[in-house]
Chain A
Amino acid sequence: MKWLKTSYRLNIETRLDNPGWAGVLSSIMGVILALIVGGFVLRAAGATDPVGTYREIFKEGFGTPKDWQAGIHALFTNTDCPKGSLCFGPLSDTLVKASPILLTTLACIIAFRMKLWNIGADGQMFFGAWAATGIALFVLPKTTDRPVMLGAMALAGILAGFLYGAIPGVLKAVLNINEIITTLMLNYIAYKWLEYFVVVGPWSLGDFESTGNFARAATWPRLTELAERYPITAGLTIHPGIFLGIAAALLLAWIIYRSRWGYEIRVIGNNPRAARYAGMNLKRNIILVMAFSGGLAGLAGMNEVAALRTLSGRFQRGYGFTGVIVAWLARLNPLAAIFVAILFGGLLVGTKLIQPQGIASMLQGVILFIVIGTELLFRYRIQLEKVIPAPAQEPGEPHDSQ
């Protein structure tokens, strides 16, 4: 029973050095680990070959190199995509899916940078969708020029999200009410607000639980509209939303790393007392950042209705929460968010056909869980070590050398 006397314990020390690559590595490791864990779950759910399933998910989400090659060839020869399948179809679907994710992610990033835990991007997005729909259906005539109409919808979406985000901001700044609770609760108000208008209320087309289709001017132009001239684009639903997201990400990166406001956000987020000491206005910044965050989420809502061409009772919930996950995976870096959002879009598109349907959310959850877990490994050095018996033991007892 000698081995019983040798005990092991975890020794945890804070790492003082934390190089930039550590964060990147932690995110990548998190994803890989999550895929491994997810593989076991897939097996348990009945998949005989998890690796094959992953390959299938990737193919569904991004296409295969062979498809891309064929597509590029077709592009240059200006012919139809061969083999009947869409060469860039999966990629296009993924980018469409990624655009609302990217925008809600950016909304989370700016708030999280200031340690404001806005988990209400979903609700802010709903209000953005509602306002943009109002403009499209009831404010501007159907004959409005497309750019004017879309621009007005975007502004309305941003403004609605901005105001809806400002509510918890004001509550936090003035009354110090916890923004996690308020933003979470405001989500449900937004869901019900939209439901009232679209399902039973004034905007509903009776049994359809929907507003009916928007005028063409109020919808995103899609690449497939060029199919007459470029056959390769046939069936590609990609629209400018993703570029809107990328532009927003570039803007946010400039704000955070290069602007005076971003400097204030970083100082306040890291040390509010030092920010007060420097004379910064904390209350104003809390309200502004929450509102700005809401504005980005509101833009995501506009983007969705312009892509769906209608607002219905089935308007998808949860982009705001996916944004939380992607924001952490991207380590609150707006440029990294572009890639992670596209990756997540691919994951959502690729897992659409997988049964049971919960697999995609399960993988998302596992990824977030493991990413936050691996962060621990980068902040602390953890060693398993043997405990040398304390002197309380009997004298002369030999030390265990193994």
Chain B
Amino acid sequence: MTESPNAFEMYGIVKRFPGVLANDHVDFSCYVGEVHALLGENGAGKSTLMNVLAGLYRPEAGEITINGRRVSLHSPQDAIANGIGMVHQHFMLVPSHSVAENMVLGLKHPRFILNLRQVEEQVKALGEQYSLSVNPRAKIWELCVGEQQRVEVLKMLFRGARVLILDEPTAVLTPQEVEVLFNTLRDMTRRGHTIVFISHKLDEVVAIADRVTVMRRGKVTAAGMSAKGVTKAQLAQLMVGREITFEVEKNLAEPGEVVLSVMKLSAENDRGLPALREIDVQVRAGEILGIAGVAGNGQRELAEVLTGLRSASGGKMVFGDIELNDHTHWIDVGRRLAHIPEDRAAVGSVANLSVAENLILKNYQRPPIASGWSINNAAVRKNAVRLVDEYQIATPTVETPVRMLSGGNLQRVILAREISGHPKLMVAVHPTRGLDVGATEAVHKLLVKQRNEGAAILLISEDLDELLCLSDRLAVIYEGRLVSEIPIENADIRAIGLMMAGTKVDA
């Protein structure tokens, strides 16, 4: 597809955010019918560029042409009218509405009378055509993340998108679901759709893309190069501007005493259904226990029960010499039991408070931060300055609200806070989700360093590469049970994948 016409072209796009030049005269274009990967670290400006194309942001300068015509996109409606639809990282769906109702949400037609049955038929037909089948009457909350993503894609097709922008679509999927998505994307390009695939996962880019455009710090470092024959190392260098090692240096674990001992632990999920069924697990000092599994199999509940955010419905947890239960004083325990939560922004930090104030979330009750009933601001500042320096948190000042930080820097703030308490146990949930190569590397190094210094680490992740690279032992969770536990030397990625899907395998 060398000489296909361009589906769209963007010239000299400039988009400025306070203090950041997110897009610095960026040119970008796509052929009709290709999968074009837009690769870059977090904060490189790739999502910004695509939000401009999708009509969400208005650029300060630059122009956009679609099928050779100059357009001005003021809103997502304008974009979709021009055949451009975007599937965002965070889905834009109404959970209490059905699939079909979400399809027509925000549309101008029909104006008064909604023939939902007709919409349902259309959705069904469209789903079959693109092998994206979902029940059009299902409520969004009943669907798993992978299905919700299908609904988002369908929504864009329903509205007539010819160009589909996918913002990190694989972040929430299992390896098997990723395969299904890729097949769908290939099928769509055969039908003449154009796909822009935003990602920072190099494997996927190499696997799916026809061409790659790489961005770094708001600028394009490689424009529309062919994805054939490109190596991961080359792409990584273009992305980060330096060489990246994909392996974390790690010596053999020297497990010490048992730090966390969990016996027959059960818990329920938000809907009151059993989420954990009699889990037994032990974590020792100086080792990383990885927990693999498809999202929704009890990982979240396990992490929440262990850190006091959810009550257990049965069983026992012993941390060091204290039993953890509803009567535990979690502010005291929290210092020695660190928690890297799944959701950095909604759980792990307070967006409107400053970096310095976020860094004392776990130790504001003890000296030197606390002095009597008051908080010692000099100590808060000193603590912040030290941690910002030690963990290389990129922030204008320690007084900057953390909502201004990038995802990678926010994660550094959380890690700095949690690690600086010298925890005996760390529960890390998806610690690198959504982070770019550079930030991931840094997080991995910090976790291994903690292990080497004698912390027990429970690592919950969906990223098998990450688990295989960091864990000393690996357990698979499926429907609230730990299916099997294997030493990492014997781990076979295929077998693990099958266990994640519920198949019994003799390891």
Contacts and interface: CB of A to CB of B under 8 A. Distances in A.
Interface of A: 9, 11, 13, 15-17, 254, 258-264, 266-267, 270-271, 273-274, 276-280, 385, 387-388, 390-392
Interface string B348-392: 111111000100111011000010011101000000000000000
B214 to A, nearest CB: 26
A9 B74 CA distance: 9
Contact of A260 (B18, B351, B365): B365
13 contacts: A17-B18, A260-B370, A264-B364, A267-B353, A271-B346, A271-B349, A271-B350, A274-B346, A274-B347, A277-B307, A279-B330, A279-B331, A390-B82
Contact of A274 (B332, B334, B349): B349
B353 A266 contact: yes
A263 B82 contact: no
Contacts of A387: 72, 74
A278 B364 CA distance: 10
Interface in B322-346: 329-334, 339, 341, 346
Nearest to A388: B72
A110 B332 CA distance: 26
Contacts of B373: 259-261
B81 A258 contact: no
B58 interface: yes
A259 B374 contact: yes
B178 interface: no
Nearest to A9: B74
Contacts of B105: none
B333 A273 contact: no
B112 interface: no
B18 A270 contact: no
Given A16-B404, A273-B347, 9 more contacts: A11-B58, A260-B364, A267-B353, A271-B350, A271-B352, A279-B308, A387-B74, A390-B71, A391-B69
B480 to A, nearest CB: 23
Contacts of A277: 307, 309, 339, 341, 347-348, 361
B18 A16 contact: yes
Contact of B361 (A260, A261, A267, A392): A267
A343 B260 CA distance: 60
A119 B439 CA distance: 46
B126 interface: no
Contacts, number: 89
Nearest to A16: B18
Contacts of B331: 278-280
Nearest to B364: A263
B20 to A, nearest CB: 9
Interface residues of B, number: 44
A278 B353 contact: no
A262 B364 CA distance: 11
Interface in B288-340: 307-309, 329-334, 339
Contacts of A264: 364
A264 B202 CA distance: 42
A260 B371 CA distance: 9
Interface string B62-90: 00001001011010001001100000000
Contact of B17 (A16, A254, A259): A16
Nearest to A267: B350
A390 B81 contact: yes
B351 A271 contact: yes
Given A259-B374, A267-B353, A274 B361 contact: yes
A390 B83 CA distance: 12
Nearest to B358: A274
A113 to B, nearest CB: 12
A14 B28 CA distance: 26
Contact of A270 (B308, B341, B353): B353
A372 B32 CA distance: 48
A266 to B, nearest CB: 7
Closest 3 CB pairs of A and B: A279-B330, A279-B331, A17-B18
A385 B357 CA distance: 40
Contacts of B360: 263
A388 B66 CA distance: 14
Contact of B350 (A11, A262, A270): A270
A382 to B, nearest CB: 12
A332 to B, nearest CB: 12
Given A263-B357, A266-B353, A273 B82 contact: no
A164 B353 CA distance: 32
Contacts of A279: 308, 329-334, 362
Contact of B74 (A11, A278, A391): A11
Interface in B373-422: 373-375, 377, 404
A260 B341 CA distance: 24
A279 B334 CA distance: 7
A207 B158 CA distance: 76
Contact of B374 (A11, A258, A271, A391): A258
A13 B72 CA distance: 17
A193 B307 CA distance: 47
Contacts of B81: 390, 392
Contacts of B361: 267, 274, 277-278
B350 A274 contact: yes
Nearest to A19: B18
A271 B346 CA distance: 7
Interface in B1-50: 17-19
B85 to A, nearest CB: 16
A261 B364 CA distance: 10
A388 B74 CA distance: 9
B399 to A, nearest CB: 11
Contacts of B333: 279
A200 B329 CA distance: 51
Contacts of A261: 373
Nearest to B68: A391
A298 to B, nearest CB: 22
Contacts of B364: 260, 263-264
Contact of A385 (B19, B74, B309, B377): B74
B9 to A, nearest CB: 14
Contact of B78 (A16, A259, A280, A390): A390
A279 B327 CA distance: 12
A274 B74 contact: no
Contacts of B349: 271, 274
A197 to B, nearest CB: 38
A387 B377 CA distance: 51
A260 B373 CA distance: 6
Contacts of B375: 258-260, 262-263
Nearest to A387: B74
Nearest to B360: A263
Contacts of A270: 350-353
Contacts of A276: 309
